[in-house]
Structure 1
Amino acid sequence: MQPTTEPAFTTTVHTATTGPVIEATGELDLDGAPTLHAVLRRALTTAPPRSDLVIDLAGVTFCDSSGLNALLRARIETGRAGLTLHLARPAHAVARLLEITGADKVFPIDPGVPFVPHTRAG
């Protein structure tokens, strides 16, 4: 019997009064970036106009250049859709990466997450 392993990167989509919240957990790297992108695309199709889209990074334990690229790409796509992308509660390693690369200057970074009334699997 093979032991089951959890995916290295997962997402859960919540709906807040200000718009979708994507809760990310695990390693945002070359393998996790496509997952984030797919969930983001679905969230953009259901988000109300002129709302915010939040990516909650509190559960992200690792982020490499592929993950950073995914976040920057998400910012561009969110802007094209007329929404504002916020990063919330970045874990220390992610906050440090954003700071070192200067990406913390292009994202609104929120210390908390908006109220989340219910969850949708992402």
Structure 2
Amino acid sequence: MVPGAGNERFTVDVRAVDGTVVLALTGELDHDTAQPLRDALDATVTPGGRLLVDVSGLGFCDSTGLNVLLHGRIAVQEAGGTLELAGLSGPVARMFRITGADGVFPVYADVAQALERQPG
């Protein structure tokens, strides 16, 4: 996965920080823009790996985006890893709260807080 993949409405920046793969999402995650996130998740799932999805840069996320994250979570868990979220706020947090998805993922206030937690 190339850092900064996406289009003008949505991007995914992938980087490794202290053994954690961080996917920073920016823009609008919906049916038309979800493929770069699918690709990034497919490329970064590793046995026992920790994925942290930073959603603080999302202004919008629809049910397609939520489903991509839920499917990614399953793939990561099947590989023995974790998929966690950081930076839920505004309308994106509301959608996660209404659907109950905020209870499915470990959620942190921001990336710094998530990275302070020791994996395991």
Q: Is TM more than 0.5 here?
A: yes
Residue aligning to 2:118:
none
Cα displacement string for residues 20-60 of structure 1 (whole angstroms, at most 9, x for unaligned residues): 0000000010012111010111111xx4x423100000000
Q: Which runs of 4 or more aligned residues in structure 1 lie more than 6 Å from their structure 2 counterparts after TM superposition?
A: none
- Identity, in percent, stands at 43
Structure 2 letter corresponding to 1:112: D
Residue aligning to 2:90:
92
Secondary structure, counterpart of 2:8 in structure 1: coil
Q: Unmatched 5+ residue regions in structure 2?
A: 1-6, 116-120
Structure 2 letter corresponding to 1:51: G
User: What do you get for the CA RMSD once the two structures are aligned?
Assistant: 1.4
Q: Unmatched 5+ residue regions in structure 1?
A: 1-5, 116-122
1:62 to 60, 63, 88: 60
How many correspondences in the alignment?
Answer: 107
C-alpha separation in 1, matches of 2:24 and 2:93: 16
Structure 2 letter corresponding to 1:40: L
